[in-house]
Structure 1
């Protein structure tokens, strides 16, 4: 299985830099079996069935991009230089991060982001660094809200800088547990009116948590995709959530994760026995064609980057030839792509198939 199998031509003007307004006005490509229908997200109450269980990721994106100044003692006093930091993931005693320019930093130096937030460089290794902040808990969260910018994906950040509107746009309406540095973007299409309409339809919801890491944007660098190693992310499926998902499966109701993050987490929670179970810890599950889905009956997701692991995931769910046709239709009909783009609802008509997954979880 080659990386080129998951490539396609995407006109750059189809990359969305702002979301639809209102959120549920985004277009929705409904792919059910061999059929493709062009609809909108606000049509979901007419598409979904009573009893369908939507799995929602309640992670909260932190404003992970910080601009500060490096302070270094010199023989003539203290020298300062501008440093841009992107937080990647928490670690014992601090945060793993990227910094530009990294070459200017030394272990022991302090980066000041404002009068009330600084971080000491603890380690520099593997193209990144470890930082220990002088604030913790609620104080740290408040400081990030004050000085941080939302960590927009590289394909958006290359076209415009983050602004105050992104603090709302790049956050789901049910975000609760802080820790992600990228949004579960399929969930960005939901607003209060749509949630009310879905409840009235008899659609049910269950929340899980996967703190999406910046590794979600890392390119696949191997030609044989089966040798790719996924980044690890922390997630939790509570006992209550697992029980509700298990009940839906037992009753023959559809379990439809909203977003690839929710899908990867519930499949990780069923990896040992094939049956959903409570889960807490890191997962690096890699889903590609041939994988046997244990829990997932469908998927709502945005349109993904060529040659990405997410293209491999949706190809595993729908089949490679089918996904190529779906994406060709999306490009021809000028759907908007990536994090702030339009959505698809992928509903395979076949039962879950046989196959494999790669995971170190």
Structure 2
């Protein structure tokens, strides 16, 4: 008999009652150190006082209006995004998947309006852009698309790191955009080197393509800059944002240059809940905190500390871990044992992590994690690794 919740998730046998900062308390009273942060969503940790204040204050005023009317909270967040990014305009969604849908539409509409029509979009092995029809077609991975055909046409997936294939595909006349994550999350914490990101920008400029960046997981301060592409000194034409922007409240956005967005006129796109007052009140507070240079400096400092400790962990447990990879506080431990076993061992050590492709363990702590919590996290990971090594001996 099918359960009342559609069984599309393989859930851990854990249930949490309260959270504060980097900690979650389970219904049985155990306290877990959270290095998953809701898969990079709780950028400021659990129950951050400033976000609680913003949400409760707005909840006592207006929850929902629809985009039939001006929404001051939405305007405030839009102004902050334009102020702190390359973008001239933005559209608010409820999720990263919805942001992907709009980014695809925006790119195709741009070439439709400009002419000639160039609907095909280039993506890369290991990418993850959501689970909608467009997003799974962009990914093309068997586990994403099996049983969901026919797939939406207009995407070509290229091998990761194959520059010749990329250059040849970009020159084809029906290609209009390149869609890429500056740091692949689900794909195994694979950062795109700065030189490659610069090369993509140059290639797009050479062939008149739009560069679409998916910063849903790597954005909002996670790499130590507000957005990961800033490290390379380039700017995209269109960018997808979600996860950390709402600090735990469902919120996403597409930001773009005026040129890329201009063909998206009235009636070409919409959302019932996107940009609602509750989400935008919280999002504006997140932006105010995360865009502060002093806050980002702290993310960089703590990222260096965490990486140093993780390198020591790899050296101490070479039979369990192979290497550390990633950027900022978006780090991965490449495992020698199945990563699912490491995640499970972490439950026994009361620490939460997230599995990714390429047998990688994702570590996505709140950006507010403290030095003491970093020390405690590595100590708990050490216990988990020791238990795995002992059971294999």
TM-score when normalising by structure 1: 0.29
Specify which structure has the higher proportion of strand. 1
Specify which structure has the higher proportion of helix. 2
